[in-house]
């Protein structure tokens, strides 16, 4: 389905980030990601976790394709990813694992991340809940403050659970998360834009248990190459299991829409609140959606 999307000509003034999440052992996700990397000329992939389902050692070889996707891969642990998962990924080529608020510069973008403090691969494990997530988010926030005081502020804060990354509000212009298997895009009170991705694995192999297949979702974020501020984003939605539907919609921050007054570039608020829809007729790299269920 991704091959039906019209060829996209990237703006050389942007850094293109592919945000994926919650693959949940769906092997088809690797081909989708590789296709998007090629067509959009992606500079860096950010995976906000739950790449696995049970985090077992037997699952680890599922991760081998991350080194061959055509772009550097930045990853944070989700609640279905074990420490074994994380250790295995640290040894893969072209992969950066973020945890404990670690900051890495990849493709010119400074990214800070924290792994999920909870490992709950099935219902036999009692979750520690939101307090644990807020504590992990606090570690991320402390790291972001330190980086800011050192004059090297992060451009993107990353965690699996939205509760954790919300603690970064006001400390980075953009925060990415997953976990909830559907998209959300909100402006936090202190000016950080929180973008939560849906499941790039369409809910994973468990999708066969559902009456309707869950969509496969990913997003391409366009950052200004100089300021690293979000300029626009494309939401890519593919039909789930048994479908071959491909759609792309372009979204702009409000200050980038026609007639808007740009916010000061030095403020976290310069990313602006979400538009909520494609801004008028989408500026499409996609043209019309392709829809051919089977």
Task: Specify the pLDDT at position 291.
Answer: 33
For residues 16-34, give the mean pLDDT.
95
Residue 259 has pLDDT above 60, yes or no: yes
pLDDT the model gives residue 242: 61
| Helix (H/G/I), strand (E/B), else coil: 249 | strand
**Which residue do the tokens 């077992």 mark?**
56
The confidence score (pLDDT) of residue 9 equals: 75
Question: Which residue would you say has higher pLDDT here, 20 or 128?
Answer: 20
Q: What is the pTM of this model?
A: 0.85
Q: Residues 47-62: what's their mean pLDDT?
A: 94
User: For residues 114 and 134, what is the distance between their CA atoms, to the nearest angstrom?
Assistant: 11
- CA-nearest of 147, 186, 145 to 163 is 186
Neighbours of 96 (CB within 10 A): 20
The 10s digit of each residue's pLDDT in 177-199 is: 999 999 999 999 999 999 999 99
What is the pLDDT, as a whole number, of residue 5? Answer: 67
Query: Does the structure show a pLDDT above 50 at 272?
Result: no
Architecture of the domain spanning 2-291: 4-Layer Sandwich (3.60)
Which range is least confidently modeled, 46-55, 107-116, 127-136?
Answer: 127-136
Instruction: Return the pLDDT at 245.
Output: 77
Residue spans of the domains in the chain: they are 2-291
- What lies within 8 Å, CB to CB, of 234 at 6+ separation is 40, 219, 220, 222, 248, 249, 250, 251, 285, 286
């Amino acid at each position: 389905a991704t091959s039906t999307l019209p060829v996209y000509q990237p703006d050389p003034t942007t850094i293109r980030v592919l945000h994926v999440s919650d693959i949940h052992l769906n092997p088809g996700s690797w081909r989708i990601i590789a296709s998007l990397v090629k067509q959009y000329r992606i500079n860096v992939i950010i995976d906000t976790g739950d790449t696995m389902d049970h985090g077992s050692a037997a699952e680890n070889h599922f991760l081998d394709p991350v080194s061959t996707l055509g772009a550097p891969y930045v990853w944070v642990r989700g609640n279905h990813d074990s420490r074994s998962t994380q250790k295995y990924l640290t040894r893969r080529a072209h992969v950066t694992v973020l945890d404990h608020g670690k900051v890495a510069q990849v493709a010119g973008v400074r990214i800070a991340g924290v792994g999920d403090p909870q490992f709950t691969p099935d219902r036999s494990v009692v979750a520690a809940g939101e307090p644990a997530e807020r504590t992990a988010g606090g570690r991320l926030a402390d790291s972001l403050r330190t980086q800011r005081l050192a004059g090297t502020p992060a451009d993107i804060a990353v965690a699996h659970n939205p509760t954790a990354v919300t603690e970064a509000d006001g400390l980075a212009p953009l925060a990415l998360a997953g976990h909830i298997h559907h998209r959300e895009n909100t402006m936090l009170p202190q000016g950080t834009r929180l973008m939560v991705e849906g499941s790039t694995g369409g809910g994973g192999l468990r999708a066969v248990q559902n009456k309707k297949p869950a969509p496969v979702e990913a997003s391409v974020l366009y950052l200004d190459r100089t300021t690293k501020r979000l300029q626009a984003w494309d939401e890519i939605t593919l039909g789930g299991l048994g479908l071959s539907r491909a759609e792309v919609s372009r979204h702009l921050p409000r200050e980038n829409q026609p007639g808007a007054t740009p916010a000061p570039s030095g403020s976290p608020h310069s990313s602006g609140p979400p538009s909520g829809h494609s801004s008028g007729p989408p500026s499409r790299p996609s043209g019309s959606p392709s829809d051919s269920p089977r």
